[in-house]
Every structure is written in C-alpha cells, then in structure tokens.
Amino acid sequence: MRGLATVVFSAVIGVSTAHAELYYLIVGGIGGESRYEKMFLEQTQALAQVAEQTLGDDLRISLIYGEEATKTALESKLQHLAESTSTSDSLAVFLVGHGSYDGEQYKFNLTGPDISDDELLELVNAVPASEKLLVNTSSASGALVGQWAKEDNTLITATKSGGERNATRFGEYWVASLTSEEADVNKNGIITAEEAFRYTETKVAGSFESEGTLATEHAQIEGNAPERFIVARLRPRKPDTPKIQLLRDESQELEEQIDELRMKREEMGTDSYLNALQELLLELALVQRQIDEEQSAQ
C-alpha cells in the first residue's frame, strides 16, 4: 500500500509542476501623494504588460489599481481565482503600494479599508493552485516573513521586517528585472522568481551605495522553489499549434475525470480509488510531457 501511495504522490507532484497554468493577480494600492500615485500606476501597468507577453493573452490576468483597488475588489478577485483554478495551476500575486505595521499587524493600503496580513494570506491560501508566489513591494512588507512557510509557496518582500517603514525602491527594480537580459542569468529567455529577486536585491543595494546613504530596506525571499517559478518571458509566447491545442483538450478532459473521481472517493475502497487515481495521473503526466516536447520544438 505504501509503495502505491508513493507512486501516486510522485505523479501528483510531477503533474502539478509541469502542467501549471500561470495566473497573475496585480494590485496597485493607493499612493497618498501624487508622485506615488504616478509611480504605482506605472509599475502596475508595466507588470500587466509583462504578464500579457508572458501568457500570450490577458485571459488569466486580474488587475486592480487606484480607486478600484478596494478590499472588496481584492477579496472578489481572489475568491474568483479560488473558484476558477485547480491544483495543476500556479498563481503569482504582485502587491504594489504602501504598507503599514503597528507592531502586531501588517496592512496593505487600499482605497477605503486596508487588508490585513491574516486576511490576505487566508484568501491567497484558499486558491487551490499548487504553486503560489506572493511579491509584496510595499513598505513594512517584511512583517509577512515567516507567516507563509508552506510547501511550494514563495514569498518575496521588499523589507526584512515590519520596522522598515519607508517607501521602498524595490517595486521599481522588480519591474525592471522582468524585462532585463541582465536578470536572465542562464540566458534562456525566461525570468524566474529567483533571478528577478537577485537582480532587484542587487540594484536596490547599489542605489543606496551610489548615493552614499544608509539602506532603509532589505529584501527577503522565502520558499522551496523560487528558481523554477517563471514570472516573465523576455520574448512573446508562441501561440499553440493545432496539435498542442488537441493535447491541451485531452489534458483538460483528464483533469475533469480526476475531479470526478475525487468526488467519489468515499464510495470507493482505498485500493480501488488509489489505483484509478494513479492511472489517470500517469496518463495526464504523459500528455503534459507531449505538450512540453511540442512547445520545445516550436
């Protein structure tokens, strides 16, 4: 029994890593001052452009900013993602704006009521995507460090703690990293969360050094898989060929069969359920491998 369970678990991990459809949620909070309003708007729009180039369309991009960036709107976007994504997907959340920390609770500043760290993380955790990335470019964002330690979660913050409360430079350089050949260390045309972070961290530190001033922010990264989480492509994604589209249709059908099987778990014996699940997962993994090979050949 243990051997069979191990095989099934391995198949699940292989499928979720290979087959992830990436979804973006980009939030531009309020600036409070005209210079910050302009800055946050530009960064938010730049992130949306990067997302569209990376995906090849805007169908999986959720974007709110300015007066529309309310707590209610953010909750609605995350609840929709919780309903429309599956465990085979991945999610990248980018928060651009100001944050605050009172010594106990962090809040991201929105139009109207702010959203607290507990509220934000609960909503993000409710999204079933197996791999999640949360990039918080705000002041005091380091208050989240240590709160999101979970397998396949990656957390990036502009500061090391809630005590670093100055407006950050991190967002500017993070946006720049996603279109930078310099950030693409292995020159494969793809920017990972790890590559983007290292580039941004270096640029932020360099900006303070060049001014001869004390750094007021120290970025942090947590997680097991930032090196494999793709956040941007330097060149537009090629459209699917008819063959790839057929394979995607087959993959979707298998995922639906897996969902139906899981709903029947209580009605089936453990061995029957695991055998059926293993068969579907392995078939799904083979289809995804074909998709990857076809995409590599484009």
Instruction: Give a yes or no: residue 81 inside a domain.
Output: yes
Between CA 268 and CA 274 the distance in angstroms is 9
Instruction: Give a yes or no: residue 138 inside a domain.
Output: yes
289 and 223 together in one domain: no
262 against 9, higher pLDDT: 262
- The CATH number given to whatever domain includes residue 72 is 3.40.50.1460
Mean pLDDT of the 52-57 span: 89
Domain that holds residue 80: 21-233
Lowest-confidence pick of 231-235, 249-253, 293-297: 293-297
190 and 206 together in one domain: yes
Reply yes or no on whether the pLDDT at 296 is more than 80. no
pLDDT of residue 285: 83
105 and 250 together in one domain: no
CA angle in degrees (0–180, nearest 5) for 62-64-68: 145
Domain C-terminal end among 233, 262, 287: 233
Residue 283 CB contacts under 8 Å (≥ 6 apart), including other chains: 254
Instruction: Give a yes or no: residue 80 inside a domain.
Output: yes
Of 128, 102, 126, 127, the closest CA to residue 116 belongs to 102
Quickly list DSSP for 119-181: HHHHHHHTS--SEEEEEE-STTGGGGTTS---TTEEEEESSSSTT--SPPSHHHHHHHHTT-T
184 and 97 together in one domain: yes
CA angle in degrees (0–180, nearest 5) for 183-85-228: 25
57 — pLDDT class (breaks 50, 70, 90): confident
292 and 268 together in one domain: yes
pLDDT of residue 290: 83
Cβ count near 176 (within 10 Å) = 17
14 — pLDDT class (breaks 50, 70, 90): very low
pLDDT tens for residues 92-151? Answer: 999 999 999 999 999 999 999 999 999 999 999 999 998 899 999 999 999 999 998 777
Domain C-terminal end among 217, 233, 249: 233
Instruction: Give a yes or no: residue 10 inside a domain.
Output: no
Sheet holding 61-65, edge to edge: 61-65, 22-28, 90-96, 131-136, 153-157, 220-223
| pLDDT, averaged across the chain | 88
172 and 280 together in one domain: no
7 — pLDDT class (breaks 50, 70, 90): very low
pLDDT of residue 13: 35
CA angle in degrees (0–180, nearest 5) for 235-171-187: 30
pLDDT of residue 298: 60
pLDDT tens for residues 157-179? Answer: 999 999 999 999 999 999 999 99
182 and 78 together in one domain: yes
Instruction: Give a yes or no: residue 274 inside a domain.
Output: yes
71 and 50 together in one domain: yes
